[in-house]
Amino acid sequence: MIFVVVEGHGRALRWRSPRRINRRSSMHAVTLRQWTESDIAPYAEMNADLEVMRYFPKPLSEKESLDSMRRQQQLIAERGWGLWAVEVDGAFAGFTGLSVPRFDAVFMPAIEAGWRIRREFWGKGIATSAAQEALRYGFDVLKLKEIVSFTAGVNLRSRRLMERLGFIRDERSDFDHPLIPVGHELRRHVLYRKRANRLLEPTSASVAPDV
Q: What separation, in Å, do the N-terminal and C-terminal C-alpha atoms of the chain show?
A: 23
Residue in 199, 145, 193 with CA at minimum distance from that of residue 169: 193
Question: What pLDDT is recorded for position 206?
Answer: 26
Q: Strand, helix or coil at 182?
A: coil
Question: What pLDDT is recorded for position 199?
Answer: 53
Flag whether 49 is in a domain: yes
Question: How far apart are the C-alpha atoms of 186 and 99, rounded to whole Å?
Answer: 21
CB atoms within 10 A of CB 182: 7
Say which residue, 12 or 56, is predicted with more confidence.
56
pLDDT band at 27 (very low <50, low <70, confident <90, very high): low
pLDDT band at 205 (very low <50, low <70, confident <90, very high): very low
Question: What pLDDT is recorded for position 160?
Answer: 96
% of the chain surpassing 90 pLDDT? 73
* pTM of the predicted model over 0.85: no
pLDDT band at 2 (very low <50, low <70, confident <90, very high): very low
Residue 13 has pLDDT above 60, yes or no: no
Flag whether 15 is in a domain: yes
Flag whether 175 is in a domain: yes
Which tens digit of pLDDT belongs to each residue from 63-119? 999 999 999 999 999 999 999 999 999 999 999 999 999 888 888 899 999 999 999
Flag whether 210 is in a domain: no
Give the pairing type, strands 188-195 and 175-176. antiparallel
Average pLDDT of every residue of the chain: 84
In the chain, the number of structural domains is 1
Residue 150 has pLDDT above 80, yes or no: yes
CATH of the domain at 143: 3.40.630.30
- The sign of the torsion formed by the CA atoms of 166, 168, 169, 174 equals negative
Query: Which residues constitute the domain of residue 177?
Result: 2-201
Flag whether 209 is in a domain: no
Question: How far apart are the C-alpha atoms of 167 and 71, rounded to whole Å?
Answer: 27
Question: What pLDDT is recorded for position 179?
Answer: 87
pLDDT band at 5 (very low <50, low <70, confident <90, very high): low
Which tens digit of pLDDT belongs to each residue from 117-140? 999 999 999 999 999 999 999 999
- The sign of the torsion formed by the CA atoms of 141, 144, 150, 155 equals positive
